[in-house]
A and B are shown apart, each in its own frame.
Chain A
Amino acid sequence: MEAQELLRRVVDGDQGAWDEVVRQFGGLVWSVARSFRLSSAATDDVVQTVWLRLAEHCGKIRQPERLASWLATTTRNEALRVIRGQSRLSPSAMEDDTVEPTASSIEDLVTDDDTLRAVLIAFAKLSPDDQALLRLLCAVPPLDYESIAEVLGRPIGSIGPTRARCLDRLRRLLPAGLNPKEELT
């Protein structure tokens, strides 16, 4: 079902439609929030704030087809508020207890897929900026470059070239001979 129709049903009071919105866009909000490297408690607060905002705002969204973009922007704004507001008072809002994949934690990974494991090990070696960009690029449903540029606070024209360079860096970190087609079929 299209976001437009879902939102119309939500405004009409259909809880099932709301749950469907959460199922469809929950991963996207999570990806954007996680790209800011907040503590897990602060990430939860930001994500919940975004959903509460949508609940109170859903009747007023003028372009329902832009829901993904609205969610991304709202998540970014609230994450920045937490970073700029709370971190000055207490550093606890910043990353401390997050399960950011690191070389050591990947050893305990709950995946026996060697390709995914290799990708995660390579991902963990990337810079925070590259990791943030990749999280946004992998969001489901996908975010357009305009939304990604807004979340990152960068010009839209820079996203394509930055994506290419970031993927090159990731590719160089992957073990030689990695062949996803073999592993994943």
Chain B
Amino acid sequence: MNPIHDDELVDLVGRALRTVDPVPEHVLDGAMAAWTWRTIDAELAQIVFDSAAELTGVRSEVMERQLTFQVGGIEIEVMVVDGSRLVGQLVPAMATTITQANEERTISTRSDHLGRFSFDELLPHPVRLTVHRPHDGRPPIHTVWMVF
């Protein structure tokens, strides 16, 4: 009997896994639908801090997830409270409309003169925040899509 060669074995495992664990149809459908959300020209705020990505350092009793997004000198700081609410702050402070969207729904709130804002609801994932800037005629800032 000939032993199965490495490449042949990898090929077999691949075929076996694709048989028992194929990409589900709803996942492919979701991926195709994601195209409608492409934002070619918008300003995209990237994650510059994520408490979940910090493996070292002091982990306090407070387990709330904290994230900071940044683009063009503007920071959007958010914290997930009780796993179900979102509070945040714009730096520098800006009183404006902020929306939270997933692929089904969009909810909106206002930031105050100190840039503070909150959402009483955290929409099912993935979600993104949008900071609207109609007052200075600039395009809105989107955060990248997130699983909070």
Within 8 A of B (CB), among A49-85: 49, 51-59, 78, 80-82, 84-85
A172 → chain B, closest Cβ, in Å?
A: 11
Cα distance A23–B20 in the bound complex, in angstroms: 18
Which A residues fall within an 8 A CB radius of B? 10-11, 15, 18-19, 22-23, 26-27, 29-31, 34, 42, 44-49, 51-59, 78, 80-82, 84-86, 88-90, 99, 101, 106, 109-111, 113, 115-117, 119-120, 123, 134-135, 137-138, 140, 163-164, 167, 170-171, 174, 176-180
B contact residues, range:
35 or more
Q: Main SS of the interface on chain A?
A: helix
Return the contact of A110 from the options B8, B11, B12, B20 (Cβ within 8 A): B20
**A85 close to B8 (CB less than 8 A):** no
A109 in contact with B14 (CB, 8 Å): no
6 residue pairs bridging A and B, Cβ less than 8 Å apart: A44-B26, A86-B52, A119-B13, A170-B13, A179-B1, A180-B8
How long is the Cα–Cα vector from A140 to B20 in the complex, in angstroms? 15
Checking A48, A176, A179 against B27 with a beta-carbon cut-off of 8 angstroms, the contacting residue is A48
Among the listed A47, A82, A109, A176, which residue makes an inter-chain contact with B31, where contact means beta carbons less than 8 Å apart? A47
Q: Are B32 and A49 in contact, with the CB atoms below 8 A?
A: no
User: What are the residues of chain B within 8 A of A11 when measuring CB–CB?
Assistant: 40
Q: A30-B27, A44-B30, A45-B147 are in contact. Are A88 and B12 (CB under 8 A)?
A: no
- A120–B35 Cα gap in the complex (Å)? 35
What 4 A-B pairs come out closest when comparing CB atoms? A85-B52, A138-B14, A52-B145, A51-B34
**What is the minimal beta-carbon distance from A45 to any residue of chain B, in angstroms?**
5
Contact of A115 with B12 at beta-carbon distance under 8 Å, contacts A84-B55, A85-B51, A167-B6 already known: yes
